[in-house]
Structures are given as structure tokens and as C-alpha cells.
Structure 1
Amino acid sequence: MKKPQRDITLRFLAEPQDVNFGGKVHGGAVMRWIDLAAYACAAGWSGHYCVTAYAGGIRFVTPIHVGSLVEVEAKVIYTGKSSMHIALEVNACDPKSLNRRLTTHCIVIMVAVDAHSHPIYVPAWVPESEEDIQQNETARKLMEMRKKIGEEMQIFVE
């Protein structure tokens, strides 16, 4: 049996329609690229259609300029029964120089679903390297923090 694909890199050129009024790539365009990469990563791991359940901790570190080559790297760092935590990093550079710089990073949780949109089991991911183990432990810590944040946020949804 073929091993599931754990990571993927998508590449885009930042186009004029991606730019906001300030002349930089709009955060929404970056978030769209993140969602596309998270989906491709999760689908590659699970072998199923996946939906976004959570996107958080998004940090816009430096702006992206029109004409930049943008790379969105996504990798599985934790799996639940049907969910996959995907760590994403966005880097950009002038395509002539290829001096990459970090622009954005975040975590997205994707859920694999069947033809009736019901959650479906995904293959378990087992960390192997020291870096994998650290990222897996961080994903577990973030799960606990999100539970607390969710409880606090209830005041806004009731």
C-alpha cells in the first residue's frame, strides 16, 4: 500500500488582483492560498475530500509584494479520528533572486468527510523525528488552549 503524502508545497505568483489599497497582497488572498494548501495536504494524507474546521494563530509577519513568487508549505503535524492538524508556512521572494522570507504562518484543522459529509477516519500519523515530536506536542497543547478560548467565546455566540 502506498504511504499517504504528509506534506505539499503550492506556488503562486502574486498578481495585481491580489493587491489591496496599500499596494501589498491582501490578507484574504494569502488566507485563500493557505486554505488551498491545507486542503491539498489533508486530501493527500487522508485520500478523501476534506473541509476546513478551524484556522487559527495566523501571523502576518511581513508583506508580500505584487510579482513575488509565493510558496505555501503545508504538513500534517497531528491526526485525530477524522481530523488533521496542518502547519502552514508562507514564504515569498522576488523570482529573480529567490531570497525567500517568511511572510505568514498558522495552523489549519481539516476534517475528512464521506460522500454524505459525515466525518470519516483518517490514517494515524506517527511522529518520527525530534522536530515531528515537538510539533505534535505543540498541536496537542494548542487543542487544549482552543477549548478554553472556545468556552470564553461563548459570550459572543449566545
Structure 2
Amino acid sequence: METANTVKASKITLSELMLPSHSNFSGKIHGGYLLKLMDQIAFACASKYSGCYCVTASVDTVDFLNPVEIGELVTLKASVNYVGKTSMVVGIRVTSEHIQTGIKKHCNSSYFTMVAKDESGNNVKVPKLIISNMEEVRRFYDSINRIENKKKYKELEMTFDYHSEDALNNLKNYNVEISEKLLNN
């Protein structure tokens, strides 16, 4: 019998007060530190859902929408949005809160693809996802769309002729200068 799990069973929340040791040279919280926290919560979420050790296979776009300040409380919320045979897409939302004023900011959202592993490092089948409401349906389909778009992009990347005269001429539309050496080859 195949196992199944709910989205609710995967949900994890992590909160941490941002300290001066987490800041970059401009006094804001370092993006790399936030990525580390996101990777930790993605691991915890995927492992909780699958019951297995999980590794990060890929990270989709991370757009830093608002800076995080020293002294703010950062909260990360994660849940499994999609499952394949051995992989899961974990959606993560990061917010920060100024603890004196209570003002909250959405800092970023991202999607981590995690793969379940056994003790020998082999991929392991993950439980089916039980979808319980329309928001979960939307998130599942959004994940399918991101996966399909990634496949299309890879196909385009493999078939695009960067050496063609059209490709080189098209570069004139961008903030780039083509060396004479390149044009004469």
C-alpha cells in the first residue's frame, strides 16, 4: 500500500532574532545568512514530510524584496507544495517583524527542490501528497508550471545557436560591446 501525507503534516515555522553577527557591511542582514536559514527549513520540512534524510537538489529564484534589519524577528514558513517520485518542492515564505512596532515585511519567497535519500545515499520514493483545499491545488499547479518552464528553458539553452550572426547582432540591443576580434572570427 502506498503511503500518503497531507500538506499540513509538512508545515514548519522557524523564527530567529537577527543579531549584529548576521549583518553585512551595510548593516542589513546578509542574504547568505537568510539562504542558510531557508535551506535549513527546507530540509526540516522535506524530512518531516518524507520521513527520510533529504538533500537540496535546486533552488528556484530568490528575490530579496525587502531588507532585514538587525533586531528584527525573522519568521520562515515552509510546506511541501509538490511531490514527484523521490523529490518534493518546498515553498518558503520569509517575513521580518520589527518587534517594537509590530510592523511586518515580506522579505522573500522561494522554492527548494529536495530529494529523499536512504542511508546509502540512494533516492527513496516519497509519500503521495494529499491536497485538501484550493490553495494547495494552486501551489501544486504552480510547481508543475515552474518545473515545465525549467525544462523548456533547458531545451532552448541547448538548441540556441550563440554563434549565429543573428545572435551576435541581437547583442547590440543590450549594454554590451562586441570586440572586433569576436566579430572577425
TM-score normalised by the chain length of structure 1: 0.91
Aligned partner of 2:42 in structure 1 is 38
Q: Distance in 1 between matches of 2:18 and 2:60?
A: 23
Task: Tell me if 1:133 matches 2:137.
Answer: yes
Q: Deviations over 1:48-79 (max 9, x none)?
A: 11000010121111000011100010011100
- Secondary structure (helix, strand or coil) at the match of 1:58 reads coil
- Secondary structure (helix, strand or coil) at the match of 1:125 reads strand
| Structure 2 unaligned blocks of 5 or more | 160-185
Contact 2:38 2:76 in 1 (8 A): yes
Counterpart residue identity of residue 65, structure 2: V
CA 1:148–1:7: 2 relative to 1, 3 Å: same
TM-score normalised by the chain length of structure 2: 0.78
Moved over 4 A (4+): 1-4, 152-155
Q: Distance in 2 between matches of 1:97 and 1:121?
A: 46
Residue 140 (structure 1) shift = 0.2
Counterpart among 51, 57, 63 of residue 59 in structure 1: 63
Which is higher, the Rg of structure 1 or of structure 2? 2
| Structure 1 unaligned blocks of 5 or more | none
68-77 vs 98-107, which deviates more?
Answer: 98-107
Contact 2:61 2:111 in 1 (8 A): yes
Aligned partner of 1:48 in structure 2 is 52
Counterpart among 146, 149, 154 of residue 153 in structure 2: 149
Counterpart among 77, 80, 98 of residue 94 in structure 1: 98
% same residue: 31
- Secondary structure (helix, strand or coil) at the match of 1:21 reads coil
Counterpart residue identity of residue 102, structure 1: H
Q: Distance in 1 between matches of 2:132 and 2:143?
A: 15
Q: CA RMSD in A?
A: 1.9
Q: Distance in 2 between matches of 1:78 and 1:112?
A: 13
Q: Distance in 2 between matches of 1:154 and 1:95?
A: 49
Q: Distance in 1 between matches of 2:22 and 2:49?
A: 29
Count of aligned pairs between the two proteins: 155
Aligned partner of 1:109 in structure 2 is 113
Q: Distance in 2 between matches of 1:3 and 1:151?
A: 33
